[in-house]
Amino acid sequence: MRVVVATIAERSHFLAVVPLAWALRSAGHEVVVASQPELAGAVSAAGLPFAPVGRGDVLARVLRRLRGRSGTMEAVDWHDARTWELPWSELSTHMRHMVTFWWRMVNEPMVGDLVDLCRTWKPDLVVWDPITLCAPVAARACGAAHVRFLWGVDTFARMRGSYLGRMEEQAPEVREDPLGEWLSGLAARYGVEFDEELVVGQATIDQVPDVLRIPVDDRLGVRYLGMRFVPYNGRAVVPDWLRRPAEGRRLCLTLGTSATDRFGGYTLPLGEVLEALGQVDAEVVATVPLQARQDLGAVPSNVRLVDYVPLHALAATSTATINHSGFGSALTCLEQGLPQVLFTDRRMFDTPELARRITGAGAAVLLESGSAGPEDFLRAAERALTETGLTERSASLGEWIRTRPTPAAVAAELERIAHVP
């Protein structure tokens, strides 16, 4: 069969789907990745065909312009019960901003070219990133099956179901559905009728362990396909020192790429945290881009700064980890059974709930990066390195991940969904 993998130009989102894309290719299917031109390098490095669609990454340019400015709308935590208790006018305003300044901004530049690609190439299946809402529209426009691919907990279905529930409580004259109204208009341009399947897909591929999955409203009819998380960090070389087991305990500190690539920096005082970690009885390997090291100065003797190493290789030689709760980082370390110290960056709206879920399962110590100081990171790191309970529960979750259906098994299920003989 022919498969289009559609995603916005977000490298971390694309990396999560690469193992499935290669499982489909290995099964003999044709696969094309469709995204904005900025993603061409990451896709070609993964050895996959690339079809540029739309204009450049508008969201990235807007974020660069907004850095450091005051007066921008404060993000809300969509998993916090208090958010759903806000007055309707305030809640609907937050949702309208989410649609206008995120989903619409990344989808409108892509939709025309993506529909053209699908109508011309005629895929049997479209696999789409949950933010790339123009993809199910394109699939419907060409008669293809379509499946959503998650790279985190299912914040999107949770938001949609909760919002519809609150909306139904309102008087008809004040009901407002920004997502439904925008997506209905987008779909109508291409002769497609809106329904909730355009939001959640005919099925949803989920790499999050069942014990970490968040409940969603039954009215959406979400059908989950569990898949084993297979770490893929992009094209990389494993350095010599990382090919050997660590001589003692090793603490991996990784802050991801989005903070520097998208948002202009970290939310924690990195230099002070590294100075505090100089007191732990372990080697600390911190992955910090060269441009982010300029203000660090000297670091303790037990700290090794590296620009980039493949995280799955580093995690495999580590005892514990400190990370920013990003899906790729947290699941890579969880797959290796590492106890984690997690902090959250509210600029990345999915990380707080993933961090809470992993912590609730007993596999992590959770810190609030906005208020936690260097000594808090030191104490949390010592717990992650030494507490037996954290180690046992982390190992249990790692084993559970490794026993889930492989990408190859999911590829076979996708053939059935696409009705390919």
Contact 75, 347 (CB under 8 A): yes
Of the chain, the percentage scoring pLDDT greater than 90 comes to: 80
**In a shared domain, residues 224 and 277:** no
H, E, C per residue of 39-52:
HHHHHHHCCCCEEE
Asked whether residue 83 falls in the same domain as residue 131, the answer is yes
Residue 235 in domain: no
Q: Looking at residues 47-52, what average pLDDT do you find? A: 98
Residue 93 included in any domain: yes
Q: Are residues 398 and 409 in the same domain?
A: no
The predicted model gives 249-257 an average pLDDT of 87
Within this chain, do residues 195 and 306 fall inside the same structural domain, yes or no? no
**pLDDT beyond 70 at 267:** no
Would the pLDDT of 350 be above 80?
no
SS3 content of the chain, % helix, strand, coil (to 5): 50, 15, 40
Domain assignment present for residue 192? The answer is: yes
Examine the domain organization and report whether 6 and 139 are in the same domain.
yes
Quote the number of domains for the chain. Answer: 2
pLDDT in tens, 119-131: 999 999 999 999 9
H/E run at residue 149: strand 145-149
| Range from 15-29, 65-79, 401-415 carrying the lowest mean pLDDT | 65-79
What confidence score (pLDDT) does residue 70 get? 40
pLDDT per residue as tens digits for the range 130-146: 999 999 999 999 999 99
User: Same domain for 190 and 338?
Assistant: no
Handedness of CA 90, 93, 95, 101 (dihedral sign): negative
In a domain, 18, yes or no: yes
Q: Mark whether 58 and 161 lie in a shared domain.
A: yes
pLDDT at residue number 34? 98
DSSP at 257: S
103 DSSP 8-state letter: I
Residues 187 and 276 occupy one common structural domain: no
pLDDT (0 to 100) of residue 78: 87
Q: Is residue 233 part of a domain?
A: no
Average pLDDT over residues 50-55: 94
Predicted local confidence at residue 297, as pLDDT:
81
The per-residue pLDDT for 170 is 97
**134-153 burial, b for 16+ CB within 10 Å, e for fewer?**
bbbbbbbbbebbbbbbbbbb
Contact assessment for residue 161 and residue 217, using Cβ atoms and an 8 Å cutoff? yes
- Contact 294/311 with Cβ under 8 angstroms? no
* CATH label of the domain that carries residue 112: 3.40.50.2000
Q: Identify whether residues 68 and 34 lie together within a single domain.
A: yes
pLDDT given at position 360: 96
Query: Does position 387 have pLDDT exceeding 50, yes or no?
Result: yes
Quick one: 163 and 280 in the same domain?
A: no
Categorize the per-residue pLDDT at 317 as very low, low, confident or very high, splitting at 50, 70 and 90.
Answer: very high
The band of 72, judged by pLDDT with boundaries at 50, 70 and 90, is very low
In a domain, 234, yes or no: no
> Which pLDDT belongs to residue 368?
80
Q: Are 98 and 19 part of one and the same domain?
A: yes
Domain membership flag for residue 324: yes
Over residues 401-415, mean pLDDT = 97
Task: Report the pLDDT value the prediction gives residue 69, as an integer from 0 to 100.
Answer: 47
123 and 158 together in one domain: yes
pLDDT given at position 260: 46
Q: In what order do the strands lie in the sheet with 364-367?
A: 303-306, 283-287, 250-254, 320-323, 340-343, 364-367
Is residue 67 over pLDDT 70?
no
pLDDT at 73 over 50: no
- Please tell me the predicted confidence (pLDDT) of residue 265: 57
Residue 171 falls inside a structural domain: yes
Instruction: With a cut of 80, say whether residue 96 has pLDDT above it.
Output: yes
Expressed as residue numbers, the domain containing 93 is 2-228+404-417
Contact 186, 140 (CB under 8 A): no
pTM for this entry: 0.92
Tokens 């079809």 -> residue:
51
